[in-house]
Structure 1
Amino acid sequence: MPERVIPGRTGGLISLGAADALWAGLTAGSAVPTASAAFTSSLASVRVGYVLLGGRVVATVKASGGQWSVPEREVRRAAAELIAVEMDCRDLIRIGPFGSAPKKERNEGTLARWRQCITRELQEWGGPERAAGREGGRLSHLAGIDWRRILVEQTRDRTARTWWLPRAVVRVLDAAEHTERQWLQVARPRQASADATEPSSHPRTARAADGRETTSPDDSTAPLRPYNGELTGQLYSALSRKPGISRKVAGWTCAVCCTAPAAVLDHCHEHGYVRAPVCHSCNTQERPDHLYSNDIRVAGHYTRLFDTDVVDWLCHWHRCSGCRTRTTLPLPHLAAWTAHTGCRSLRPTHRDPGSSRARKPCGVLRVSWTGSQNAPRSCLLTVTVDFCPSGEHRVLAQVPYREAAERFGTWLAETAPGVAAAAGPDRLDDLPAQSRPVIADTSGEGLALF
């Protein structure tokens, strides 16, 4: 029988069993599935001074009798934050596997490189079904989230397996990893100081006056700061080599979603300018779906890029001085816009078999190009339809690069007047003499900086 939670007992501290029951009860209606044994499973970091629940660190306390406890108030706060997360199970992000093998982590924290942890476990156990049936596994949950229940496996060519999670969960886990890293940066120096003055104290703990051992509150960690254009006009090639830039990036909030901690510097591959620090989720969403170096598939996430959250993304893309000056987008993005928006009226529809009246767009859009943006007169965009049900449609349009850029400029002025007003050919100062060639972005983790 689960333990009852008595508010206010032992100065607001509850046992691990009671904390498990409280966490499960409070998050029962959460869109994000949670683990039933967040505190007592083999993964719980109780003995290292904390337990990670969503994006919050819950400090652990060891009484003189040797029993571990946690503050009830912090458990309730973590549950409230996770319940507020809205999850769209159709909006997925690939989390692995990528080209390089996952590295073994030396950090004893719960979420150190959580993508690699999930990939490693799934590779070892042969997929999500076998991993889900594993009893007493090390990765029973991540930050109190039961990721196995929402993991999606996709297979291409019956050989290449990829694993995906909802974008909302990816953002929670990214935030949790950042919170844990900040916690450890604060806790370790304090541990070293405590060891120097009191060798008998427990690691990452300090002894209270009443004999209890407790950890430092997570309120002392440095808060994330919003990005206010501090890197505007800087070239990625020079900035990425500066010492300490990764730590500086991790101190910002993502410049696009403004919720998750930033993890990478997004930059324009054509002009070389830094756009802004972004989280893994937004960086993955922004990346074109390359089939080949000059061929991309117009996937479902372009609906958000060019429809739902279009103003936010246009502002982000035009943080590049080159794109802003020329009132355009990098060639792969311009090609995707041309197929998704500029040629929308040309896409045929077919009757939906599931409905007598409804119609659905034909097949899957794809756009390819010959030449490059460096020779706009010879660059031609070709918009085609793959997998047409009747097999009758193939090439929808062939649009010269200059015409596509002009169409985009007109659409930009109508859709985001503020972004269009900040652009224009009169701002040519400090631009590179020659644009860089487009870098074909594969799905490898190391190339996720488009």
Structure 2
Amino acid sequence: MPISREYARSLFAELTQSAAVPLDPDELLHMPHLRQHGHVLFGDVAVRCYKHRGRWVYDERDIRAAGRAFAEMVVDLDDVVEVELPAYRAVPERDPEEQRRPDWRRRLGSWMFRRAYEQLVEQGRHYDEWGSWRAIKPNGLPGELTWEEFVASSSKHRSTQNIAGTRPLQLLTWSGENWLLPRAYTDLLDRWERREEDLVNLARLCSSCGEQGPYWGNWRTPTTSGYVTRCPSCSGASFQPYTGHLRGVQYETLRRRGTRADDYLCRLCRASQASAWDHCHEHGYVRGPLCGSCNTREGTGVPYYFLQIEGAVLHLLECRGCLEQRTLPRRFHSDVVRTHLEQNERHGRCRKQPYVRELEHAHGVHRFRLECSGWHATGTWTKDVTAPEATALVRALVAAELGGSG
């Protein structure tokens, strides 16, 4: 029987309220690896996600089975094993595909190193003053990090408190020489690594030709019945490329005609079946067919990141109103300015690109905060950009994109 995500979460929480392993039932709401393999995992227990009448649901039997498994799991808190966490590794040293593979020890260690780094940045200290911040101190943590500060910081973000739907920091202890976890719990996480890997590898296979796709799920396409895996070649053979023949048509007119978007390839990624007609909410014109992922990035994602996608600005200019006015939808304007400031503003003679965020927008002025405090103790300043200046930067971007497309 299909049940809603909300009911599934409530039922699972009720069934596991006395479980020996600390769990996070909210995983059933967030479904963090939905696109990658279509399951929510609690340890090695995989709960499949279904699409029913346009909504993601679960099978009640699966939820009850998962709940019983954890309610009956025995964990001897006195039977512990040493946990050896890997040393710090800079991101450029990692293989992108290897970095995404499940590794609970590496993830625990990365939480600690990341927080130690963030702590020094927040203190506004010059990089030269950091010393050997990656060195492990007598409390088992890097830099100046304390256990209390680490736990408090981790509790603020889902990405730094959950592994496989469980909360390891509630079981992790420091003996004075080693990190310790209950043996039954480490066995569970080891099984999770293998289960996650198996699910991802199965979901990587093109459903038509069997070719293996990228580890991070780029070939996974959202459909009305859920995600399917199609390689670009099979998608290209199955769906029509969009040629811009609906440019200048109002979205409401298209809806009345009942023209289907899922006959086409996504105009933006050109690798997945489209699922919706994207349109400009300010002018009402159709832009083109997009897959569910690209449509979400444009409609509800962070504008700054959408603008980084190749072809994103030209896609927005498929709207006749935006094209004729040489502009973009208003929600993108401040992020166009942000990108411009990142590329052109510098702190004194520093060559490092600053981190930029908007503080406020009032009385026609955008105020931004710029930081390169990771390199300079006083590397923080503000920049005001007026509405006419923002408009000019948007026009300059549009002109550059149109010039480059010609």
The TM-score normalised by the length of structure 2 is: 0.44
The structure whose residues are more often helix, as a share, is 2
The TM-score normalised by the length of structure 1 is: 0.40
